[in-house]
Chains A and B, each alone.
Chain A
Amino acid sequence: DVKVTQSSRYLVKRTGEKVFLECVQDMDHENMFWYRQDPGLGLRLIYFSYDVKMKEKGDIPEGYSVSREKKERFSLILESASTNQTSMYLCASSRGAGRTGELFFGEGSRLTVL
């Protein structure tokens, strides 16, 4: 069964802490994505990566960075967490370039910043 695994389902952090969200996929997909999901706003793209060590900004990259050192792993980093980063974070992967559009999602990481 193909899988995207996010390391933490629930996290509680304090303002100013550095936060790492980890995502691993076992499908040998080239593309990986980080979205945040907020009620009434749907999913918004933070960053994506189309190859190892390659990354591009999405629609809302401010306050975030990413790392992709291995094909299967894509990390989202909050350098200094703030309360407005309280959200559900979803990792996804997809195969190759082009526009097939089928993303495979993890179950999400719910982050609360106090």
Chain B
Amino acid sequence: GNSVTQMEGPVTLSEEAFLTINCTYTATGYPSLFWYVQYPGEGLQLLLKATKADDKGSNKGFEATYRKETTSFHLEKGSVQVSDSAVYFCALAAGGTSYGKLTFGQGTILTVHP
């Protein structure tokens, strides 16, 4: 079946540090890949997505590239801010008619200190 594995957290960084959160997946066919973010006390919201190999999703300074050869979709940001403190989830949607069902990774807690 489909699965998503994220790097274990929590991750603690100082403001302006470089961020990488690793994500690898297992899926049949050609899934779409997503990063969702959950700020404290809120529901999840879409951060970025990529629907085919070599696509790069980007938003709010975050980027992730869909790498089919390594089945990866690592999240990066060049300079994190305190306001980026949140839980980050990698997810995939299987190929075909999936009605938007997503398979999520376990989540990575990011804390950024001033």
Task: List the interface of chain A (C-beta within 8 A of B).
Answer: 4, 30-31, 33, 35, 40-45, 48, 50, 58, 90, 92, 94-103, 105-108
Contact = CB atoms under 8 A, between A and B. Distances in A.
A1 B104 CA distance: 26
B32 A43 contact: no
A105 B6 CA distance: 21
Contact of B100 (A43, A44, A101, A105): A101
Contact of A99 (B44, B46, B96, B107): B96
A101 B103 CA distance: 10
B97 A42 contact: no
B89 to A, nearest CB: 6
Nearest to B106: A42
Nearest to A49: B99
Contacts, number: 82
Q: Chain B contact residues (Cβ within 8 angstroms of A): what range?
A: 20 to 34
Given A40-B106, A99-B94, A108 B101 contact: no
B100 A94 contact: yes
Most chain B beta carbons < 10 A, residue from A40, A50, A103: A103
Contacts of A58: 101
Closest 7 CB pairs of A and B: A105-B43, A94-B100, A101-B93, A42-B106, A43-B104, A42-B104, A99-B93
Nearest to B46: A102
B89 A43 contact: yes
A30 B98 CA distance: 13
Given A42-B105, A103-B36, 13 more contacts: A40-B106, A42-B104, A43-B104, A45-B102, A90-B43, A95-B100, A97-B98, A98-B98, A99-B94, A99-B98, A101-B34, A103-B100, A108-B43
Nearest to B44: A105
Interface in B60-107: 89, 91, 93-107
